[in-house]
Structure 1
Amino acid sequence: MTDTLNKTAGANAPINDNRKAELLSKQVKHIDIKSFDARPIVDAMADMSFTSRDLGRATNIYNQMLADKDCSIFLVIAGSTSAGGCMDLYAELVRNNMVDGIVATGATIVDMDFFEGLGHKHYQALEIPDDDTLRSLYIDRIYDTYIDEEALQNVDHTIFEIAESLEPRAYSSRAFIREMGKYLVEHGKKDNSLVKLAYEHDVPIFCPAFVDSSAGFGLVKHQVDAAKAGRPYLMIDAVADFRELTEIKIQAGTTGLLMIGGGVPKNFIQDTVVCAEILGHDDVQVHKYAVQITVADVRDGACSSSTLQEAASWGKVNTGIEQMVFAEAGSVMPLLASDAYHRGLWKDRPVHRWGAIFDK
């Protein structure tokens, strides 16, 4: 684990605490989608061209998902928008029954949301010295956003503590993240945490690459310590993730995807259609609605940049109600989410509580 490193600068010089405090002096403020009404600007953008028009149509599709009483909506997140100021935005979607399931990277769930749930913060970089200097001060950088590495190590240790407290067996990431949400209910310091709210609202969170985060450090320490002591340890079952998410897709029927970025979460949720067919559910529906906000370039053929039209060739999504938005998500998600919040179509949506089906 990273906490085994000596807290010293380059040539064994002590950390300059004053300099560190100076660099970590301005907290990132997460946007509040309830505090402004984006409907007029989104309506106006829908009558423009280029990305503005795409965003207008994408917002309309998300509102269609909310209006469709049969539709279960999955929020799919990759990238660092949570650290950059969208964390409360995602939490409000859960709080107001605007999403029914989440598929995300471990970084989004553990290193960003759970991190803040424990009381830690992200910071705006007021200046960016060379990264070796940042390393000597134990400051991690995400573009123009800073994280205190010593605070992040607290996440490593907390994951370790949670693992030590549980029955040693196989857990899906959903099951383990649920325990993280329970921990925040009892010990957390932030009410508007996505992990905490998902636990309280039975909204399942899946991280198909869960250990690619601070969870990995804590779980490795848990397994190593247990093995040394000759006792059993818990494991994260990636196959169970796929099975559970596919089970939700089978039971849900009509589904819609609101995807930020690409990567493993995007492919994971789309593959549930194919997996259901392999399990003999030939009547499973492709994802009826799909929106993806990304800056990935389609020309290199990478899966993360594959368009929703391309996904249709694999039998994953409907080509009729989909929209790609090529934009930095932090700049357009506040508009989309605020528009949907203020239109209020979520107010009479059925509550699905898909997380509860695994408690039986």
Structure 2
Amino acid sequence: MTDTTINDNRKAELLSSVVEHIDIKSFDARPIIDSMQKMSFTSRDLARATGIYNQMLEDPNCSIFLVIAGSTSAAGCMDLYAELVRNNMVDGIVATGATIVDMDFFEGLGHKHYQALEIPDDDTLRSLYIDRIYDTYIDEEDLQNVDHTIFEIAETLEPRAYSSRAFIREMGKYLVEHGKKENSLVKLAYEHDVPIFCPAFTDSSAGFGLVKHQVDAMKAGKPYLTIDSIADFRELTDIKIAAGTTGLLMIGGGVPKNFIQDTVVCAEILGHDDVEVHKYAVQITVADVRDGACSSSTLQEAASWGKVNTGIEQMVFAEAGSVMPLLASDAFHRGHWKNRAKRGWAKLFGGK
């Protein structure tokens, strides 16, 4: 048996258990959340956070932003987020490039994430082209297919500046035509006119594909497209101004959290002194507040910056993959989404 065969067999063994994404429709979390309301500690925090999310869904004037950092999409929450878009439970998304490109678009192309049945030496994983996220595996060769697909999309587009929202919309269009998965967040967002923003878009597989697009174009003396991060900020602020009342459902922290909160300040700088702070806010995180980082800063702290209302907010200090299924299932089964008007904020930009 050759070394190549041995390696192929070992790789297949390690990538044998596919991560199955949770289906929030398949169970009703309302009795659990109702019971948690009568408890203390994180259970009561989660129950209150779920209640706030239901308030957002009930408020006819509220536009809801789903804000995602971290790797919950790879860990089994991908279909959960897709259902929020499918059922008009969120109106805009701000996320890391990894969440949108390396995880959701990745699976939209037909690739999978895998449970690590064991954690071998990471040098061994590297030799087998397996990438690791804690106890989750990704086939590096599949991820390189994402890089190349982003490159291919870029090659078909007019060479100009695009916001991440505009480029991700093209990714959604690509998945409608070539995708292998119905429950892709990128695809469903395109179909439902839910804009997706990635303020650090190139910090992902998209970065590799777009760099190759630029370098090849430069060598050939041709123009190339660029990602305009200032346009991201302007477009998201435009939505905040038009939306009025807003609510934030935040998983993790980091750049996406600060980016959506900063729209309030940006609107004021643009002369909209009457812009509302985000009325509702929920954040689920395990980050520690003591290091002064944005990821862990409390929503009360954000109020000092004039970004968030102090009255209707809740921090939940928990690993999001363990509590988001309960929050989302409760909200789905209470059904307030059934009476919500569809915002379609992507139409604000005329399909561009």
TM class by smaller structure = over 0.9
Give the 3-state SS of the residue equivalent to 1:16 in structure 2. helix
Match of 1:124 among 115, 125, 140: 115
Give the 3-state SS of the residue equivalent to 2:70 in structure 1. coil
Task: Encode CA deviations 1:167-226: one digit per residue, 9 max, x unaligned.
Answer: 000000000000000000000000000000000000000000000000000000000000
Residue 285, structure 1, aligned to residue 285, structure 2: no
Residues in 2 aligned to 1:148 and 1:302: alpha-carbon distance in whole angstroms: 32
Residues in 2 aligned to 1:107 and 1:144: alpha-carbon distance in whole angstroms: 17
Residue 25, structure 1, aligned to residue 16, structure 2: yes
Residues in 2 aligned to 1:347 and 1:267: alpha-carbon distance in whole angstroms: 30
Residues in 2 aligned to 1:134 and 1:325: alpha-carbon distance in whole angstroms: 34
Q: Which amino acid aligns with 1:50?
A: F
Residues in 1 aligned to 2:162 and 2:72: alpha-carbon distance in whole angstroms: 27
Q: Count residues in correspondence.
A: 349
Q: Which residue of 1 aligns with 2:259?
A: 268
Q: Which residue of 2 aligns with 1:340?
A: 331
Q: Which residue of 1 aligns with 2:185?
A: 194
Residues in 2 aligned to 1:357 and 1:278: alpha-carbon distance in whole angstroms: 21
Q: Which residue of 2 aligns with 1:171?
A: 162
Residues in 2 aligned to 1:60 and 1:51: alpha-carbon distance in whole angstroms: 14
Correspondences of 1:41-56 after superposition (within 5 Å): 41-56=32-47
Residue 154, structure 1, aligned to residue 126, structure 2: no
Residues in 2 aligned to 1:46 and 1:83: alpha-carbon distance in whole angstroms: 29
Deviation at 1:14, TM superposition (A): 8.2
Q: Which amino acid aligns with 2:76?
A: G
Residues in 2 aligned to 1:245 and 1:47: alpha-carbon distance in whole angstroms: 38
Residues in 2 aligned to 1:38 and 1:302: alpha-carbon distance in whole angstroms: 33
Residue 212, structure 1, aligned to residue 206, structure 2: no
Correspondences of 1:64-75 after superposition (within 5 Å): 64-75=55-66
Give the 3-state SS of the residue equivalent to 1:147 in structure 2. strand
Structure 1 residues 163 and 15 mapped into 2: Cα distance closer, same or farther (>3 Å)?
Answer: farther
Deviation at 1:256, TM superposition (A): 0.1
Residues in 1 aligned to 2:247 and 2:294: alpha-carbon distance in whole angstroms: 20
Give the 3-state SS of the residue equivalent to 2:93 in structure 1. strand
TM, length-normalised to structure 2: 0.98
Task: Encode CA deviations 1:236-270: one digit per residue, 9 max, x unaligned.
Answer: 00000000000000000000000000000000000
Q: Which residue of 1 aligns with 2:239?
A: 248
Q: Which amino acid aligns with 1:214?
A: S
User: Which of structure 1's runs of 4+ aligned residues deviate more than 3 A?
Assistant: none
Q: Which residue of 1 aligns with 2:285?
A: 294
Residues in 2 aligned to 1:212 and 1:93: alpha-carbon distance in whole angstroms: 25
Q: Which residue of 2 aligns with 1:4?
A: none
Residues in 1 aligned to 2:264 and 2:256: alpha-carbon distance in whole angstroms: 14
Q: Which residue of 2 aligns with 1:113?
A: 104
Residues in 2 aligned to 1:61 and 1:89: alpha-carbon distance in whole angstroms: 18
8 Å CA contact retained: 1:15, 1:136: no
Deviation at 1:316, TM superposition (A): 0.1
Residues in 1 aligned to 2:344 and 2:83: alpha-carbon distance in whole angstroms: 16
Task: Encode CA deviations 1:95-114: one digit per residue, 9 max, x unaligned.
Answer: 00000000000000000000
Residues in 1 aligned to 2:312 and 2:345: alpha-carbon distance in whole angstroms: 24
Q: Which residue of 2 aligns with 1:62?
A: 53
Q: Which amino acid aligns with 1:67?
A: E
8 Å CA contact retained: 1:163, 1:222: yes
Residues in 1 aligned to 2:6 and 2:261: alpha-carbon distance in whole angstroms: 46
